[in-house]
Structure 1
Amino acid sequence: MSCTARAASSGGGTAAPEIAWFSALCDDDYEFLGVPDPTLASSWEHCAQIVAAAERNGFDNVLLPSGYSLGIDATAFAAGIATQTERINLLLAVRMGEMWPPQLARQLATIDHMAAGRLTVNIISSDLPGAPLPSGPRYRRTREYLEVLRTLLDGESVEFDGEFVKVQLDPPRVGTVSGRCPPFYFGGFSEDAKHTAAVAADVFLNWPDTVAGVAATVSEMRERAAAVGRQLTFGLRSHVIVRPTSAEAMAATRRLVSRLDDGAGAAIRARSLDSASVGVQRQAELRSGADADGFAEEGLWTGIGRARSGAGAAIVGDPDEVAAKLRAYQAVGIDAFILSGYPHLAECDLFGRLVLGSIAHQPLWHPM
């Protein structure tokens, strides 16, 4: 891994993982799943409160997602929140194709300075509205963008003549605080996405799955990266519902979906740009194979996916059960967790109070 300060994991469970939260910039916050609440709509004020809570509770990083046509702009938000935080890393989602790579590199370097070196980057490869591309060329574009971005953010000159990017530039005057490219977090489960991750990403993000399913993905991606002379670190993006007792956690799952109309949930899933992806199909498989209460296995509840595209399951239980589930994922190779819950502000405080203090954790990225 060329960017992150921590070495790539060889087996999992040997180092304290990164534990991150999620700020709902893309209109994804509910008290009752699938029931819009104007007080939870994406806004500068609401999303900034979530980031402040994540920092106050001691999370290592916070994902700032990009919904393109949903919610507020992630890059502009990252620039603003960078000056209002002191410790927490910022995981900014950027969609390949939206911004010309040299300009994107300049934006990222500038925000990194505003954040005193705390910027990390989540790479998104979904279609641009009005400009769809088949999977093959879309991921080829992503790989070209990542090569140019990494070169520029490493402070080097670039001469690139590709299918989507043709550019020749001297080293940029403004680089990151560390002088190195921040780590690229990346998720995707199609063949094109997995190849892109193996050759160009630093942290491969899994979506919720059984422990065995995550173990299989980690093993596969470790082999793919090794075949091209690289190593990957592995993360898991999941929701979480933790309560003082197991019974209270189960009651919280039922309450969350108690007002959900399945038609409205399907409409919410369909509006996402990744609604037909391989990863989303896997989330649907987990739901279809779950028990009557929606559990794919002990502690993994799939009800979230009834009204959400993308990561569609939650780790559920009392504090000991949730911590044990995280350790089980860590044991099969996960070194970074990006967690969230509904509503995001309240669940951030609950996880921080009930679980986070009992788990050793640390950021993946130490730039200084």
Structure 2
Amino acid sequence: MSGPRFGVWALEEGCFGSPHHPEDPHDARWERVRDQVLLAEELGYDSTLIAQLFISPFGEDYDQGEAWSLAAALAALTSRIELIAAVKPYSYPPGVLAKMALQIEEISGGRFAVNLVNGWFATEARRLGLTFGDRDERYAYGREWITIVRELLTGGPSTFQGRWFRTDGYRPRPVSRWRDRPKIYSGGESEPARALAADACDAWFINGQPLERVAALIEDVRARPRIGPPVEFGMAAFVIARDTDAEAADALAYAWEISKRDRLEQEWISGQVAPDVQMFKTFEEFPHIGTNGGTAAGLVGSYDTVARRVEEFHDAGIDLFMLQFQPFEAEMSRFAEHVLCRVKGRVRA
């Protein structure tokens, strides 16, 4: 097994901890996202994930970046880092999305990837006037959608007749000059999400949670029937790394203290979630700082402790760690200086 890869969540949401943090207030401006991703590339990070949200999860009065226009702009400015743009299938017809993805693949020189997210934000869909069925319907819709997108990302043609979509021989051009097609990630931990990851995607993102739970999820998806190369696995995590475990524990306690100011934002978001979303049921089980499981993954401690936990998750099957921090840029730099060198040094040894 090769060594782990490390990515960062792009700051199109403005922050990934508390929007009230005194050193990291909410800031979703393009200039910040641009500078953050360029710094991540310079520091040696391998990937960045741009979440697709049309309304800020902190509340409708907060600024929120748009994932696909940001991805295209970043593709032109970066040279090495992988750019993963999330997409909810009901946001774009599959033929339009595949054409957009291939254009960003061209701009980036073969560094673009799609992250399929079937959605939890019921209020957002309603505000936009988009289809948003129950969980089983969302995944059935997403399965038709990604079937067409996969075919088109390789150049097509796509001729498909289903419940929601019909295509008639569309062949997008140009196709990728670097590989067969852009990579497809997916998220979600429900039964239909796992089945979709095993059937139709190249890699599956797991929300941050304890090692034993993550290992069980990996084994479940690995055991499912599949045509093609094995599924790769990624995990979201919020990192707090310091010189000692005690200092990290103090920093985590401080983060929890700041989070008390987020009551209105937390009340707002809790009212927007579709009731059948597995992700938020997991979050109730494992309270955390950050999004998508955050500190529940346990990457909190001394530099050696965090490096060791990364290696344990990697041994369980995690290939890509998609990381959050607060204050983001300073802690992202700290992780690169003190943890990346430890993990990569041990892999080389």
Instruction: Say if 1:274 and 1:28 are closer, same or farther in 2 by CA, change over 3 A.
Output: farther
Residue in structure 2 matched with residue 365 of structure 1 by the alignment = none
**3-state DSSP of counterpart to 2:209:** coil
- Tell me if the contact between 1:158 and 1:167 (Cα under 8 Å) persists in the aligned partners: yes
Q: Does 1:79 align with 2:72?
A: yes
Matched, 1:26 2:13: yes
What secondary structure, in the 3-state scheme, does the structure 1 residue paired with 2:257 have? coil
Query: SS at the partner of 1:250?
Result: helix
Counterpart-to-counterpart distance in 1, 2:241 and 2:275: 28
* Structure 2 CA distance for partners of 1:44 and 1:68, relative to 1, 3 Å: same
Report how far residue 34 of structure 1 moved.
Answer: 4.8
Q: Summarize the alignment of residues 257-272 of structure 1 with structure 2, pairs less than 5 Å apart.
A: 257-261=256-260, 263-264=263-264, 266-267=266-267, 269-270=269-270
Task: Identify the residue that residue 87 of structure 2 maps to in structure 1.
Answer: 94
How far apart are residue 360 of structure 1 and its match?
A: 2.8
1:119 is matched with: 112
- Does the 8 A contact of 1:155 with 1:179 survive in 2? no
The residue that corresponds to 1:129 in the other structure is: 125
Comparing 266-275 with 346-355, which one deviates more in the overlay? 266-275
1:57 counterpart = 2:53: no
Native 8 Å contact 2:236 2:294 kept in 1:
no
Q: 1:115 to 1:343 in 2, by over 3 A?
A: same
Q: Which segment drifts farther, 200-209 or 267-276?
A: 267-276
Q: Specify whether residues 225 and 186 from structure 1 end up closer, same or farther in structure 2 by C-alpha distance, changes over 3 A only.
A: farther
Q: How many residues align?
A: 327
| Residue 208 of structure 1 pairs with residue 208 of structure 2 | yes
Going from structure 1 to structure 2, the CA distance change for 1:29 and 1:239 (only over 3 Å counts) comes to: closer
| Deviation per residue, 1:163-200 (Å, 9 max, x gap) | 11101124222112325221111111112212211211
Query: What letter corresponds to residue 236 of structure 2 in structure 1?
Result: R
Deviation digits for residues 264-298 of structure 1 (CA, Å, limit 9, x no counterpart): 353254266568621221121123xxxxxxxxxxx
CA-CA distance at 1:64 after TM superposition: 1.0
Q: Give, in angstroms, the shift of residue 230 of structure 1.
A: 6.5
Find the aligned partners of 2:269 and 2:336 in 1 and give their Cα distance. Answer: 29
Q: Is the 8 A contact 1:29 1:41 kept in 2?
A: no
1:16-65 residue CA offsets vs partner (Å, 9 max, x unmatched):
122111112124345xx252779532110111121012101100101111
Shift of 1:201: 1.3
Which amino acid in structure 2 is aligned with residue 20 of structure 1? G
Q: Which residue in the other structure is 2:174 paired with? A: 174
Is the 8 Å Cα contact of residues 109 and 178 (structure 2) preserved in structure 1?
A: no
The corresponding residue for 1:69 is 55
Match of 1:239 in 2: 238
Q: Is the 8 A contact 2:153 2:181 kept in 1?
A: yes
1:249 aligns with 2:233: no
1:312 positional shift: 3.6
**Hey, what's the Cα distance between the residues in 2 that align with 1:338 and 1:125?**
19
SS of 1:260's partner is: helix
Contact 2:19/2:26 (<8 A) preserved: no
Looking at structure 2, the residues matched to 165 and 260 of structure 1 have their Cα atoms a distance apart, in angstroms, of 43
2:61 maps to none
- Separation in 2 of the partners of 1:271 and 1:204? 27
Give the whole-Å Cα distance in 2 for the aligned partners of 1:101 and 1:43: 29
**TM-score by structure 2 length?**
0.87
Greater helix fraction, Structure 1 or Structure 2: 2
Q: 1:355 Cα deviation (Å)?
A: 0.9
**Secondary structure, counterpart of 1:112 in structure 2:** helix
Identity score, percent: 27
Q: What TM-score, normalized to structure 1?
A: 0.83
Indicate yes or no: 2:295 matched with 1:313: yes
Choose between structure 1 and 2 for higher RCO, CA contacts under 8 A separated by at least 6 residues: 1
Per-residue deviation, residues 217-239 of structure 1 (Å, max 9, x unmatched): 1111111244x676311111111
Q: Which runs of 5+ in 2 are unaligned?
A: 57-63
Counterpart residue number, 2:103:
110
Distance 1:356 1:230 in 2: 28
Distance 2:118 2:149 in 1: 15
What runs of 5+ residues in structure 1 fail to find an aligned partner?
1-13, 288-301, 362-368
State which drifts further: 45-54 or 254-263: 254-263
Change (3 A) 1:188 1:42: same
- 1:133 is paired with a residue of what secondary structure? coil
- Partner of residue 322 from structure 2, selected from 338, 342, 347: 338
Matched, 1:199 2:183: no
Task: Answer with 345-354 or 20-29: which moved more.
Answer: 20-29
**Is 1:88–1:118's contact at 8 Å kept on the other side of the alignment?**
yes
